[in-house]
Structure formats: C-alpha cells, structure tokens
Chains A and B, each alone.
Chain A
Amino acid sequence: MTRIIVVTSGKGGVGKTTTSAAFATGLALQGYKTAVIDFDVGLRNLDLIMGCERRVVYDFVNVITKEASLNQALIRDKRIENLYILPASQTRDKEALTMEGVEAVINELKETFDYIVCDSPAGIEHGAYMAMYFADEAVVVTNPEISSVRDSDRILGLLASKTKRVVENKTPVKEHLLLTRYAPERVKNGEMLSVGDIQEILSIPLLGVIPESQSVLTASNQGIPVIMNKNSRAGLAYSDCIGRFLGEEIEFRFIDAKKGGIFGKFFGGR
C-alpha cells in the first residue's frame, strides 16, 4: 500500500524542501520506490535541492492539464535507484493545481510507488491545502522559534479537519514533529526554545531534531540532498528520522550541548 507523506509547516523558509529531499532520498536508499512532488507552483525549488534542474522538461501542471504524461514529467534520479522527482511549474500559479488533477496524478503514482512525498508550499492557502489533502502522514517541520511553532499548531488544526482522511472518516493523518535548525548551545543558554518546550506545546510525537548545520547550505549549493553526506550532523540526523519513520528505535543525538565530545570535535559546525 502506497503511503502519502506531506512535508508542511505553515511558516516559510523553515526547511520543508530540505526535508522533502532528505526524506525521499532516505526512503529510496532503503529500497522503497519513492516519488517526491514539488507543490510549490510558481516557486520551483525542489529540483535544485535534488540537483536535477537541468533535466526538467515537463512539470506537475503539464501532467494535470494533460500536456504531458506522468512518465514524461517524472525525472529519475541519476544517483539513486527508485527515486523520482515531479517538479513544480515555474510559470503558472497555484490555482492550476485542481483537486481532480492532483488526485489523478496521485492515483497514477499509487499504482507503482511505495511512498509519495509532497513538498508543501508555505502558507495555509490553496497550494498548501492541495499538498496535504491526500496525505496519510504529515511531517510538520518546525523551527525553535515562536512564530514557527504557532504556525505549526495552525497546520495541525488543518490536518485534523481539512484532509481527505477526515472527510472520509478514516483514521486521522499521522502527525510527526520534525524540529530543524536546532542549536543546542543556544538552548543551553536559554536563548532558544528547547525540544521539550516545543513538544509540550504541540504535543505530537517527535520524529527527529535536525541541528543547525552549515552542511545544509553546502548540500544545496551542490544539488546533493544533505542526507547523502555521512559527515554531516544534519545528514545523520535525517538518516535517523528515516529509521524512526520506518519503525526502528533510534536514540536522539545532537540535541545536547557539548555532549558526546567526539561528535562535537569531529563535526564542528557540520
């Protein structure tokens, strides 16, 4: 059975696209046939993070309007087997994503894929709504910052009321909290909300904590999802998330300041 995962946040720039790329790559690395869809129509970015921008010919909207077939628009990742990217359109606006159109694409993907990862645009408008509507699970990306936490709470409200699973009276969308850009030193100094604070406020299960890390920018510069970098704390933290997502029990790391000395020394800001 195909699982559909939405990566969402409400607030912009918190790390949804970084996370979508890491998630899709991580699942494919585990052998699952995975498609990642960029729902950010008009602000295409996922192709850059995945390093396939030069291979985009057709996009999600072309498939919806039947100007191209799904197979024509899907880009097969050159590095990783089982990984496919469906880019967003750069020229249309979000209204081009019709409910019927999105559903048709998702249904076709469901025939052959194990996982469909939906990279949501920021906001709570149409684009974000379309990205979450068909989801079975949601990764709610949150920064340890007051406005991001508030927006995540808002998104949780929508996930619980405005999705297909709710409309059809199925079990609710499974929610996962993913805290990104976490700086343990600052938490220790009382300058940043802690994992515990945020979990207490949002009260959904914690999937992972991704530390603030320079390697995320390096990865995006190179078009290589950060999860492929085994020397990066952010990359390793994302790998842990995949493990937990697939049911493994993995201890949280990189959440305490100056603990686990070797990691601190070994990784520095990476």
Chain B
Amino acid sequence: MGLFDYFHANRKSADVAKERLSILIARDHFHRHQPSFLPALQNELLEVIKKYVDIDQDDVTVSLDREEDCEILELNIALPEKRHNKEA
C-alpha cells in the first residue's frame, strides 16, 4: 500500500464527504448559471456551417467551461469524412 492509499484509507469519512460536496455544489452552481443562449448559438452556427458543409445537429457542440477565473467557450464541429462541398 502506497503512502497515498494509506492516507486515503485513514481519512475521516466526514472530510471526504465535505470535499465531495464542495466540488459537487460548485458544479451544480456552474450548470445553474449556464447562459441560456447556448442552444440558440448552437443552432445558428449549425445553419451557417450547413451552407458550406453537409453536417447535421449532432456534429456541432457548444459548451462553456471555466478554468481558474477565465471562461472558455468551446466549439466542436465534426466534419463528415467525405466532405461535400456544396458548390463543387
């Protein structure tokens, strides 16, 4: 048993509970404050990209994340394997 495991096994369960709870509640709050424009943004992006590439709903994901004190808006667009350039 490594030192770390040993430490963990001996931690008071109340301390574990408190730590889990703090993380959990921070996450709950984060989701509660997720801006409501995200779904709309996702749809509009989809429409724009569709003009050029043949993709559908599931290929675009938009999410907001927080690291330290900066917010990161993450766009993920999966292009289909065979690219259908609509003009081509």
Quick check: is B69 within 8 A (CB to CB) of the other chain?
A: no
Quick check: is A99 within 8 A (CB to CB) of the other chain?
A: no
Contact pattern, A 152-181, Cβ under 8 Å of B = 1, otherwise 0: 011001000000000000000000000000
Quick check: is A193 within 8 A (CB to CB) of the other chain?
A: yes
When the two chains form their complex, are residues B21 and A149 in contact, meaning their CB atoms are under 8 A apart?
yes
B3 to chain A, nearest CB (A): 20
Q: B76 contacts which chain A residues (CB < 8 A)?
A: none
Q: How far is the CA of A154 from the CA of B28 in the complex (A)?
A: 8
Quick check: is A81 within 8 A (CB to CB) of the other chain?
A: no
Q: Please, how many residues of chain A have a CB less than 8 angstroms from a CB on the other chain?
A: 15
When the two chains form their complex, are residues A193 and B25 in contact, meaning their CB atoms are under 8 A apart?
no
Q: B21 touches which one: A150, A154, A190 (CB < 8 A)? A: A150
Q: How far is the CA of A226 from the CA of B33 in the complex (A)?
A: 40
When the two chains form their complex, are residues A201 and B13 in contact, meaning their CB atoms are under 8 A apart?
no
When the two chains form their complex, are residues B13 and A150 in contact, meaning their CB atoms are under 8 A apart?
no
Which of chain B's residues has its CB closest to A157's CB? B32
Quick check: is A192 within 8 A (CB to CB) of the other chain?
A: yes
Quick check: is A248 within 8 A (CB to CB) of the other chain?
A: no
When the two chains form their complex, are residues A153 and B12 in contact, meaning their CB atoms are under 8 A apart?
no
Which of chain A's residues has its CB closest to B15's CB? A190
When the two chains form their complex, are residues B18 and A190 in contact, meaning their CB atoms are under 8 A apart?
no
Quick check: is B83 within 8 A (CB to CB) of the other chain?
A: no
When the two chains form their complex, are residues B21 and A201 in contact, meaning their CB atoms are under 8 A apart?
yes
Quick check: is A120 within 8 A (CB to CB) of the other chain?
A: no
B:1-22 near A, CB below 8 Å = 12-15, 17-18, 20-22
When the two chains form their complex, are residues A197 and B14 in contact, meaning their CB atoms are under 8 A apart?
yes
Q: B28 touches which one: A146, A150, A187, A197 (CB < 8 A)? A: A150
Quick check: is A249 within 8 A (CB to CB) of the other chain?
A: no
Q: How far is the CA of A146 from the CA of B28 in the complex (A)?
A: 14
B71 to chain A, nearest CB (A): 20
When the two chains form their complex, are residues A191 and B12 in contact, meaning their CB atoms are under 8 A apart?
yes
Q: A194 contacts which chain B residues (CB < 8 A)?
A: 14
Chain B positions within 8 Å of A, measured between CB atoms, are 12-15, 17-18, 20-22, 24-25, 28-29, 32
